[in-house]
Amino acid sequence: MLLFAALRFHRFGVCTPGGPAAAGAAAAAAAAAAAAGGVYLPDFPQLSRALQHTQEAFRSAFAAAAAAAAAAPPGPGPLLLSRRALSAPAAAAAAAAAAAAAAQQDLYYITTAIAYTNGPPHMGHAYEYVSADCLARFNRINGKKVKFLTGLDEHGVKIAEAAAAAGQQPQQFVDGVAQQFALLLQQLSSSHDAFVRTSGPDHRRVCQWLWGRCSSKNDIYLGTYTGWYNKREETFVSEKEAELHNFTDPLSGNPLVKMEEESYFFRMS
């Protein structure tokens, strides 16, 4: 936690005074990190030092593990027992099924939460990105086929309100916030495979495809939903839960909003 306790955001970056001397020191630190095969984040010097220390520890641990694996005697191969020989087609089918199962076991999918774009990134986002990136890199090293996804949730009441407060259109507002998140991921050297924005064309196509598939099978229908809405959480809460907290958000104390709106529902039978 000390790694992230040292990381402070002012909107996105950290402004460090020091003028030319500080700039020269940062350049020297970056050169030293590059020479050692590490990374240096100019906006986050404390994080850079911690990452460098972690990289050195990982290199030592991996070198020791590789040496131990090389020295270990090979293990026995699989023992196959069968009461009768398989025919050639059956043997081929069994081999294909085994290969498919093995390939499936080698897949590893990880995703971060998709951050709301009602404000700039903060320390909590950095913590989540680095944690997910560590898992992705570890599984790649161990031979897994990793798919590492992150992205942004650009729809919701909170985002519309934040855009209005900034005097901008929602799309203009989220475009600016998205740039800040992309910069954070870049400076953290994140190894993600995809950065998905819910306002983007790829996400729109997938939603339209899924909607069309559900609609064509008559799995959804239009109805009306009435309930208590928590704007901070962007979710409805049950009548019992709303009453328990006196119809307020238990964290912020803001009143819940009674809403009624047309919604699509899944048929449950």
Domains in the chain: ranges and CATH? 99-203 (3.40.50.620), 220-266 (no CATH)
In Å, the largest CA–CA distance within the chain is 80
pLDDT band for position 73 (cuts 50, 70, 90): low
Q: Please check the confidence at residue 122 and state whether its pLDDT lies above 80.
A: yes
Is 161:257 a contact under the CB 8 Å cutoff?
A: no
Q: Give the gyration radius of the chain's Cα atoms.
A: 26
Q: Among the listed ranges 82-86, 118-122, 164-168, which one has the minimum average pLDDT value? A: 82-86
Q: Please check the confidence at residue 58 and state whether its pLDDT lies above 50.
A: yes
Mean pLDDT calculated for residue range 117-126 = 94
* Contacts of 180 by beta carbon, 8 Å cutoff, 6+ apart: 11, 12, 120, 121
Is 262:223 a contact under the CB 8 Å cutoff?
A: yes
Is 143:102 a contact under the CB 8 Å cutoff?
A: no
Q: Please check the confidence at residue 64 and state whether its pLDDT lies above 50.
A: yes
Q: Please check the confidence at residue 155 and state whether its pLDDT lies above 80.
A: yes
pLDDT band for position 76 (cuts 50, 70, 90): very low
pLDDT band for position 56 (cuts 50, 70, 90): confident
pLDDT per position as a tens digit, 254-268: 999 999 989 999 998
